[in-house]
């Protein structure tokens, strides 16, 4: 037992270590959940991209069909041109052929552009699939780390519980009940250090009677926040 704080500082340190191990234990599953969310997002993005590609393909096929049917129309027009019975008819058909040829050139451009967009979309899909693989690997790594760390942390927590139970002998009987309630409510913040004769948690000064108790390493409760107080150096 520490002569300066009557074991209270040691008890506080053990509570702080316990809280730290507890938070490490909680952070494992949290990290897994964060990574799982990334995987879910990638899967949703992949589905959306596949849907997008389907639509793009449909639009491209439609353009291609239009193009082919116009090409056939042009073949027909050219045949008609050869059979034109008058100069007037010849000119009309020739005009149609020119207009349709221009329209089809633009349709072909549109189709080729649509194919390029599809290629780019497929590239994006491949990138998303590779990102998904990395995200899934990260989940697996996190799961393995947690599985390795969990038993160690749990063992350390059990050790600390025993050490805390032993160190609690420094809590006087008259405040033991209050201390139990504090531990349940505040965990590692059940104790507070005193500096310049003030509680370091709520900054309220201690009374003259409490100063006497603190100087003789006796536990006393902060009259403001209720924490069990201790003083490291005699001031």
Residue ranges that bind Zn ion, judged by CB under 5 A: 199, 201-202, 222, 224-225
> Closer to Zn ion at the Cβ: 32 or 206?
206
Please tell me what DSSP assigns to residue 73: H
> Closer to Zn ion at the Cβ: 138 or 225?
225
Q: Which two tokens stand for residue 133?
A: 């693989």
Shortest distance in whole angstroms from residue 17 CB to Zn ion: 22
Shortest distance in whole angstroms from residue 203 CB to Zn ion: 7
Q: Which two tokens stand for residue 93?
A: 């058909």
Question: Edge-to-edge, what's the strand order for the sheet holding 220-221?
Answer: 198-199, 191-195, 228-231, 220-221
> Closer to Zn ion at the Cβ: 103 or 225?
225
Residue 117 dihedral angles phi and psi, to the nearest 5°: -60, -40
Shortest distance in whole angstroms from residue 227 CB to Zn ion: 5
Whole-number Å distance between alpha carbons of 212 and 218: 9
Whole-number Å distance between alpha carbons of 29 and 72: 64
> Closer to Zn ion at the Cβ: 175 or 225?
225
Residue nearest to Zn ion (CB): 199
Shortest distance in whole angstroms from residue 9 CB to Zn ion: 16
> Closer to Zn ion at the Cβ: 142 or 192?
192
Whole-number Å distance between alpha carbons of 186 and 171: 16
Shortest distance in whole angstroms from residue 204 CB to Zn ion: 5
Whole-number Å distance between alpha carbons of 171 and 190: 12
């Amino acid at each position: 037992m520490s002569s300066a704080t009557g074991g209270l500082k040691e008890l506080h340190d053990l509570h702080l270590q316990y809280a730290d191990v507890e938070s490490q234990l909680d952070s494992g599953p949290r990290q897994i959940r964060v990574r799982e969310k990334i995987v879910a997002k990638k899967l949703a993005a992949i589905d959306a991209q596949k849907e997008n590609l389907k639509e793009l393909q449909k639009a491209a096929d439609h353009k291609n069909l239009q193009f082919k049917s116009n090409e056939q129309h042009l073949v027909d027009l050219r045949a008609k041109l050869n059979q034109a019975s008058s100069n007037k008819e010849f000119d009309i058909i020739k005009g149609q052929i020119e207009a349709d040829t221009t329209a089809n050139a633009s349709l072909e451009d549109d189709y080729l552009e649509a194919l390029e967009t599809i290629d780019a979309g497929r590239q994006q899909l491949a990138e998303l699939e590779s990102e998904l693989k990395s995200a899934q690997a990260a989940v697996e790594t996190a799961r393995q780390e947690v599985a390795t760390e969990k038993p160690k942390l749990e063992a350390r927590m059990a050790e600390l519980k025993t050490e805390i139970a032993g160190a609690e002998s420094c809590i006087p009987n008259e405040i033991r009940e209050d201390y139990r309630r504090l531990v349940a409510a505040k965990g590692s913040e059940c104790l507070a250090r005193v500096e310049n004769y003030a509680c370091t948690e709520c900054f309220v000064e201690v009374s003259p009677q409490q100063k006497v108790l603190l100087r003789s390493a006796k536990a006393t409760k902060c009259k403001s926040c209720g924490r069990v107080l201790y003083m490291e150096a005699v001031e």
